[in-house]
Structure 1
Amino acid sequence: MRPVLNGRAVFASTVPVTILKFHVNTVRMLRARGYEVALVSSDGADLAEAAEQSGSAAHPIPMSRSISPVRDLAALIRWLGLLARIRPGVVIAGTPKCALLALTAARATRVPRRVYMCGGLRLEGEQGWRKKLLVGMERVAMGAATEVVVNSRSLYDEVLAAELVRPEVLRQTLPGSSHGVDSEHFAPRPPDRTLGLSLGLDPDVPVVGFVGRLTRDKGIDTLIEAALLLEGEGRAFQLLVVGPQNEPDSAAYVQRIRHTTLSATVVGDADDVRPYFALMQVHVLPSLREGFPNVVLEAAAMEIPTVTTTATGCRDSVLDGTTGLLFPAEDGRALALALRELLGNAEARQALGRAARVWVTSEFLPDRIAEQIVNGATVPAPKEKL
């Protein structure tokens, strides 16, 4: 167990909903260790609620997810002032922009322990000048950290392969995830027939569900392609799409789905996704990149098997053939094949769902993950040579 440094800690994220939804438990653990915790994020009701729930102080600093030199410089100046004033012993920062600003300021003000919780690489899939810029930003952020904690083995490997940080600084939560899953909150429940009927779903036809942001990186093109292939074969199923529609390409995807011949229902962001999960027989995450997808753990805890890709992060979130199925990213035919297998075999998908819940309830305990972040994560064991 690490010694308490200075008795003050900062926990930060670009947007406050990330802290509120995923990291209150980690902040509470910091407080239990004896730290006085300051939460730093963009201002809003979510920041105030996270502070109240965790017993911490809120310090709003506006930060933009997009690249904005003027606003980023203003945020960095505020970060320098805040850290110079409160003199924390630990700064833990998640999300790329926040980590870049917070850890650069923390190194400049000589904070002894600086932790970057890396939950994915935006640079994956980028090309040209934009990729070079994102690589440079990650190297600066990780270079300012005394520990870089990634949330999956495949992300660990990607960070090393891209030479973003010195190997001795890199750590991983084991077996993965940034916060685990509350398996009492996400627990199996019967479908809400009234909700299903209000969405136009037929209770006698299997539902394939997607939960996440409607944007290209989540593999929506692949999902549509696979669904149309299955429809063309005469497979009976319904598509349920749930999630935020605030990305630049979200509206176009909503229109594409609604203008197909698919039996599809599109729902916006939901404060509580559990009723929607309970309507699904299969959950699909065709993402092109992740750190470690929280949504797969949530589905698994509710005994819903996931079909996801072999992309970074995704491939760590299921045990292929045991708790779910994997297919190559951007391969609509492969996704259709996997869904065909499960749609035609209720016993198989139920067995996968049961095994998924057993796995996540034993391995992804929130306190276990939080403890690794607070006390220091470990280096994963070397991969066996084939």
Structure 2
Amino acid sequence: MNNKKVFQLITVSKSVYLLKGQIEYLRKNKINMHLISSEGKELEQYPDNIVHKIQIKREISIIKDIQSLLKLIILFLKERPYIVNAGTPKAGLLGMLASYITRRPHRIYTVRGLRLETVSGNKYKILFLMEKIAMFCATDIIAISDSLKNRIIELNLNSNKKIKVFGNGSSNGLNLKDYKKSDNNIENEIYRQLDGQFVIGYLGRIVKDKGIEDLVNAFKIIEKKYSNVKLLVIGSIEDGDPINQHDLSFILNNKNVIYKNHVDKPIKYYNNMDVFIFPTYREGFGNVSIEAQALGIPTITYNVTGAKDTVINNETGFIVEPGNHEEIAEKIELLINDENLKVSLGEKGEQWVNATFSNEIIWKEMLEFYKLKLKEHK
């Protein structure tokens, strides 16, 4: 194991899924990886001696953010990591500031999305400044998709620093061995509701930015025309950026909508879907989109940063313009009425994901990147 420490920083422990298998792979290959995160059960999978718990609020909170920054500065002065890699907006800002103040040799900002894309006014100005500061403090910038990289350059956030994308994008790639079509055993109650139905699926946070209101409106169009359709919605309902109460009530109370909170093993639920809808308004990449396609599920997404990198239009699914829920409904109807098209899109999506998004592609490039940085003397 290399004596030089590499600290990976995320905001909340739930984001550990973005690193699934990555830290273990890098440590196995002699990279002295450590993890910093807010406390949570997800950290239990790692040895205590490589986990550093520092509470970081996802939303802006001046006093608590200053407290988190001071704790990071103290930690970096004590542990002296050679590389700090910080991702997710708040962790990115605080991690880059703390590593800049303590003069860590390599400060890597991993951009997993731009929250500023869906806000305006003062909030936009604040988020823009946060990104600008984080990238100024960084020595290296990583984007998790090509369109995200292009958007950063377009907004001139990177101060002319080069931006790297590992592989073909994504936070971590997929462990393709896990994606088996035979893994489809869900609860009997949900299975009975979906049996014999055309299932329209969604998996992700229940917030406005994810396009949930458009999903509801598209399903209402389909529901009026077809009696054998169900909408399967999986994800946590969050207070930040909430959807309107009318649409939330529709999800929770409509007899043709099956709602389930966050699940740890989504594969078996994907395998009970006929089409996956990913109507996000902003994204860094969108792992759920390629997860669905890995299992042969055609995917419909919006033509927005990150998400558009996850679908080949008219080959593995459809890319429609953001906000156009009528076109989402049209594409769903097309698949309801054309089984051969649904199968063809699913097969091409499965082949594309298997050839393009293995996690080993990401991990190998990341390993070489870290090895190069660890050899540099600063």
2:115 aligned with 1:150: no
- What is the alpha-carbon distance in structure 1 between the residues aligned to residue 21 and residue 319 of structure 2? 30
**Partner SS, residue 66 of structure 2:** helix
* TM-score normalised over the length of structure 1: 0.90
| C-alpha distance 15-202 of structure 1, shift in aligned 2 (>3 A) | closer
Cα RMSD (Å): 2.0
| C-alpha distance 62-235 of structure 1, shift in aligned 2 (>3 A) | same
- What is the alpha-carbon distance in structure 1 between the residues aligned to residue 3 and residue 124 of structure 2? 38
> Which structure 1 segments of 5+ residues have no match?
378-386
CA drift of 1:263 comes to 1.4
- 8 Å contact 1:41–1:61 — kept in the other structure? yes
Partner of 1:222: 214
Out of 284, 292, 311, the position equivalent to 2:285 is 292
CA drift of 1:196 comes to 5.5
CA drift of 1:63 comes to 0.2
Out of 73, 86, 90, the position equivalent to 2:83 is 90
Superposed counterparts of 1:1-386, under 5 Å: 7-19=4-16, 21-49=17-45, 51-52=46-47, 57-189=50-182, 191-192=184-185, 195=187, 197-198=189-190, 200-234=192-226, 236-248=228-240, 249=242, 252=245, 253-260=247-254, 263-376=256-369
- What is the alpha-carbon distance in structure 1 between the residues aligned to residue 361 and residue 11 of structure 2? 24
- What is the alpha-carbon distance in structure 2 between the residues aligned to residue 259 and residue 16 of structure 1? 31
CA drift of 1:75 comes to 0.6
| C-alpha distance 375-103 of structure 1, shift in aligned 2 (>3 A) | farther
- 8 Å contact 1:293–1:317 — kept in the other structure? yes
- What is the alpha-carbon distance in structure 2 between the residues aligned to residue 116 and residue 168 of structure 1? 11
Q: Deviations over 1:39-86 (max 9, x none)?
A: 11011221232x23xx86111010000000101000111111111111
Paired residue type of 2:225: E
- What is the alpha-carbon distance in structure 2 between the residues aligned to residue 48 and residue 191 of structure 1? 27
Paired residue type of 1:82: L
Partner of 1:382: none
- 8 Å contact 1:25–1:367 — kept in the other structure? no
* Residues matched between the structures, number: 368
CA drift of 1:28 comes to 2.5
- What is the alpha-carbon distance in structure 1 between the residues aligned to residue 263 and residue 318 of structure 2? 26
Paired residue type of 2:303: T
* TM-score normalised over the length of structure 2: 0.92
- What is the alpha-carbon distance in structure 2 between the residues aligned to residue 257 and residue 147 of structure 1? 42
- 8 Å contact 2:72–2:98 — kept in the other structure? yes
- 8 Å contact 2:145–2:309 — kept in the other structure? yes
**Partner SS, residue 167 of structure 1:** coil
- 8 Å contact 2:190–2:258 — kept in the other structure? no
Partner of 2:375: none
- 8 Å contact 1:11–1:37 — kept in the other structure? yes
- What is the alpha-carbon distance in structure 2 between the residues aligned to residue 336 and residue 72 of structure 1? 43
- What is the alpha-carbon distance in structure 1 between the residues aligned to residue 166 and residue 125 of structure 2? 27
**Partner SS, residue 161 of structure 2:** helix
Paired residue type of 2:112: G
- 8 Å contact 2:11–2:38 — kept in the other structure? yes
Identity %: 28
- What is the alpha-carbon distance in structure 1 between the residues aligned to residue 193 and residue 183 of structure 2? 15
Higher mean Cα deviation, 318-327 or 33-42?
33-42
- What is the alpha-carbon distance in structure 2 between the residues aligned to residue 28 and residue 234 of structure 1? 47
- What is the alpha-carbon distance in structure 2 between the residues aligned to residue 115 and residue 235 of structure 1? 52
- What is the alpha-carbon distance in structure 1 between the residues aligned to residue 226 and residue 352 of structure 2? 34
Partner of 1:384: none
- What is the alpha-carbon distance in structure 1 between the residues aligned to residue 265 and residue 259 of structure 2? 16
- 8 Å contact 1:5–1:90 — kept in the other structure? no
CA drift of 1:30 comes to 3.1
CA drift of 1:311 comes to 1.1
Q: Deviations over 1:212-252 (max 9, x none)?
A: 11111110111111111122333631111011123342683
Paired residue type of 1:106: S
| C-alpha distance 340-24 of structure 1, shift in aligned 2 (>3 A) | closer
CA drift of 1:257 comes to 2.5
**Partner SS, residue 64 of structure 1:** coil
CA drift of 1:204 comes to 1.4
> Which structure 2 segments of 5+ residues have no match?
371-378
| C-alpha distance 190-128 of structure 1, shift in aligned 2 (>3 A) | same
CA drift of 1:202 comes to 4.0
Paired residue type of 1:8: K
Higher mean Cα deviation, 231-240 or 140-149?
231-240
CA drift of 1:165 comes to 0.8
Higher mean Cα deviation, 61-70 or 195-204?
195-204
- 8 Å contact 1:284–1:308 — kept in the other structure? yes
